[in-house]
């Protein structure tokens, strides 16, 4: 597999990875985390990494949420979750998604998804830099691969 060494120095040993399809939704916030994820998506695409962002939840194994959860977005997130084939996993990226961040609950904002649902991957930061997001995804993906039983 070819890497462009955008995030790792030449010669670095990369963790084992398996394919991961991610559907990203921005549920509120300032969209800063969403912009960082766009950079992540482009870098992963360029590196032909087995982690890719897909355009529909029907193809996704991981639902990745950024932003504080708006009241109007809650049913949309629920629908996306229901549309995913199993097994499905949840990741929350950015302070807003983890604990609400700058956006305190009010009539239009429910707050952080982290307080309402258990996420497999939780990454705080405002916003977390793309390097940190990639490293979290890759090492989490590697842990998932390592925890699978190996063929004898
Ligand atoms: S965590 Fe920060 S950068 Fe991300 S959506 Fe919230 S305010 Fe914006």
Q: Which atom of ligand 1 is nearest to the CA of 94?
A: 1
Backbone phi, then psi, for 17, in 5-degree steps?
A: -135, 155
4-62, pLDDT tens digit by residue?
444 555 665 555 556 789 999 999 989 999 999 999 998 888 877 788 899 999 999 99
pTM to 2 decimal places? 0.84
Q: What is residue 89's predicted lDDT score, i.e. its pLDDT?
A: 92
Ligand 1 pocket list (CB less than 6 A): 29-30, 32-33, 66-67, 94-96, 101-102, 126-127
| Beta strand spans in 39-134 (E) | 51-53, 62-66, 69-70, 89-93, 109-111, 121-123
> Residue 6 Cα, ligand 1 centroid: separation in angstroms?
24
Tokens matching residue 34: 């969403």
Domains in the chain: ranges and CATH: 20-142 (3.40.50.12280)
């Amino acid at each position: 597999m070819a890497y462009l060494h955008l995030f790792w120095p030449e010669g670095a040993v990369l963790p084992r990875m398996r394919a991961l399809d991610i559907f990203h939704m921005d549920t509120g916030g300032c969209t800063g985390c969403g912009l960082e994820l766009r950079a992540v998506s482009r870098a992963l695409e360029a590196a032909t990494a087995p982690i890719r962002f897909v355009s529909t939840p029907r193809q996704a194994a991981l639902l990745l949420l950024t932003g504080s959860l708006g009241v109007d977005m809650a049913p949309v997130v629920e629908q996306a979750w229901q549309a995913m084939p199993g097994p499905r996993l949840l990741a929350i990226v950015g302070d807003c998604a983890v604990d609400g961040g700058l956006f305190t609950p009010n009539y239009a904002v429910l707050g952080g998804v982290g307080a309402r649902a258990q996420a497999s991957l939780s990454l705080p930061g405002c916003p977390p830099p793309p390097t940190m997001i990639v490293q979290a995804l890759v090492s989490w993906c590697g842990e998932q691969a390592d925890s699978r039983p190996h063929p004898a």
